[in-house]
Chain A
Amino acid sequence: MTSKPIRILAVDDHSLLRDGIAKLVTAQPDMELVAEASNGREAIEQFRLHKPDITLMDLQMPEMNGVDAIIAICGEFSRARIIVLTTYVGDVQVLRALKAGAQGYLLKNLLRKELLDTIRLVHAGHKRIPPDVASQLAEHATDESLSGREIEVLRLISGGNANKEIAAQLAITEETVKGHVKNILAKLGANDRTHAVTIGLKRGIIDL
């Protein structure tokens, strides 16, 4: 192990969580928290400024979300090592983050036990995905994914919109919306609209 401490950037919109990470990290002799950010845009700025070894990145944040920030950072700094922090085990969300360039994935409920090990592993050049996240990925690996329009429709359904309102908001006909809803139910294997929303949230297709 190098003698230089691992320099860390923590990105999360909850200051309480950033404080907690700071407490855990600063207690470690081989780690150093160099910067914090509360949304994707700040994360990019802080990354440019500090060039941290490891970035801990929340996904759901105001202004700019985590995935967009990961894409921007990895586009600019190909050697960036980013660990995603999230509450949910959603295969679609995981896939999106990994494709964007994240090396590690960490569920927030496992932070206290696995954060430090994950930071060290990813810093050493490994990838790290928790077993239940990996099995989620495997389970849906061959599923047909929703199109961009279908995701939009599903998001509007979760907001409590009827087909008519969805049609108006997307400037398409109600028949087309019905077609999308049918496809969504089929692709997700859902019984009804509510079920589709539940599955969408679970798999990270849409956010709360």
Chain B
Amino acid sequence: MERSGIVTSAKQFGLGVAGLLVITFAAVRLDLQPGAVSLLYLIAVVFVSLRAGFGSSVAVSLIAVFLLQYYFVPLFSTAGSKNPLAIVASVAFLVTAWVITAMVSRVRKMTEAQVSVRFEERLAERTRIARELHDTLLQSFQALMLHFQSASDMLPPGAAKKALEEALDHADQAILEGRNAIQNLRSSTTVTNELAQAIAALGEELGGRDRKNVAGAVRVSVEGKPHELHPIVRDDIYRIAREALQNAFRHAKATTIEAEITYAERQLRLRIRDDGTGIDSTVAATGRQGHWGLQGMRERAQQIGGHLEIWSQTGAGTEVDLSIPGTIAYAVPSNRGWFPLFRKRKEGGNDQ
């Protein structure tokens, strides 16, 4: 498991234990019934199970059961008597926690499946647009070229004919570019699936173009094992990165730019930091119309089920933080299969 995965897991575990302690403390102070206490425990356990890994969920559940068994149940039993219901209650508690967690994660999976259906729809839409452009614009231009040529053939040799022929040659070139663009349904710039490489290349392109003398390189670092990305998500991530780097180079006049890609099991995270002039924090939060493209970046992130945060202050640089759930970002989703009973086989569609 990656370091970041362990870190989040440990964090969730800590939060879970803290939650249990708060509930226990409150229960003792407020004299809550065991029923109410176990309900609160249940909420805490489900909360942790949904976010943390298998280990921490089991640990938190066991702590909850332990507290119930040895602290609350004796409190309400007459001294010395053994309560036979305790074991039944513990089992019921664990099963309930498991069922609720499984149901919630199932609903989540279904939402994610819907997102992947949207990707297929977008691919179909692109093909449709390409077909439309091919059938109308491209065909008509190709035909018009013949008409122009026959007009040119009627002209006597001279400056006019030469100018027309030159214009026609340029038009040939333009039509060829149009044809290639139509043929390349996916963005031609992201031919590599290696996000780090793509971003480094982007940095060279943007930096080289805007600041001729300074080596406008972006320092790219990768954490975790790179996953294959879903093609359409990859395009969107690439466009967001492009916008962020463009802002850094063009508007913020940054000299150092760092891009950090984290392939965690649960999410893909891309952070781009610069030491430029920064953005006014209110603009960063709301995104001024038509400037910086911040709103566009946010919308693009939302569209693919991700989340984008921008931290900046005038004079203090900018950090753009994009995170996308792993189930959406990765072409082959990393499955955490600990509810095999409730996990339906992965829906077809975005598998490779």
Chain A contact residues, CB within 8 Å of chain B: 14, 16-17, 19-21, 23-24, 27, 87-88, 108-109, 111-113, 115, 158-164, 167, 174, 177-178, 181-182, 185, 191-195, 197-198, 201-202, 208
Contacts and interface: CB of A to CB of B under 8 A. Distances in A.
Given A27-B150, A198-B185, A208-B134, A193 B142 contact: no
B137 to A, nearest CB: 12
Nearest to A111: B146
B123 to A, nearest CB: 5
Contact of B144 (A16, A87, A182, A192): A16
Interface string B224-257: 0000101110000000000000000000000000
Contacts of A109: 142, 145, 172, 175-176, 179
B179 A87 contact: yes
Contacts of B349: 162-164
B265 to A, nearest CB: 21
Contacts of B142: 17, 87, 108-109, 111
Q: How large is the interface on B (under 10, 10 to 19, 20 to 34, 35 or more residues)?
A: 35 or more
Interface string B182-226: 111110000001000000000000000000000000000000000
Interface stretch (B5-13, B124-132, B284-292): B124-132
B167 to A, nearest CB: 12
11 contacts: A19-B147, A87-B138, A109-B145, A113-B149, A159-B127, A160-B120, A162-B116, A162-B117, A192-B193, A192-B228, A201-B185
Contact of B123 (A19, A20, A21, A160): A160
Given A109-B175, A160-B124, A167 B146 contact: no
Interface of B: 116-117, 120-125, 127, 130-131, 134, 138-140, 142-150, 153-154, 168, 172, 175-176, 179, 182-186, 193, 228, 230-232, 331, 347-352
B140 A195 contact: no
A88 B183 contact: yes
A197 B183 contact: no
The 5 closest A-B pairs by CB, nearest first: A160-B124, A20-B146, A163-B348, A162-B349, A112-B149
B146 A17 contact: yes
A109 B175 CA distance: 8
B121 A181 contact: no
B252 to A, nearest CB: 33
Contacts of B138: 87
A194 B146 contact: no
Contact of A192 (B149, B154, B231): B231
Contact of A21 (B146, B185, B193): B146
A2 to B, nearest CB: 23
Contact of A23 (B120, B140, B150, B351): B150
A178 B230 CA distance: 17
Contact of B348 (A158, A164, A182): A164
Given A198-B183, A201-B183, A208-B131, A162 B231 contact: no
Contacts of A164: 347-349
A161 B145 CA distance: 37
B186 A194 contact: yes
Contacts of A160: 120-125, 127
B146 to A, nearest CB: 3
A171 B144 CA distance: 45
B123 A197 contact: yes
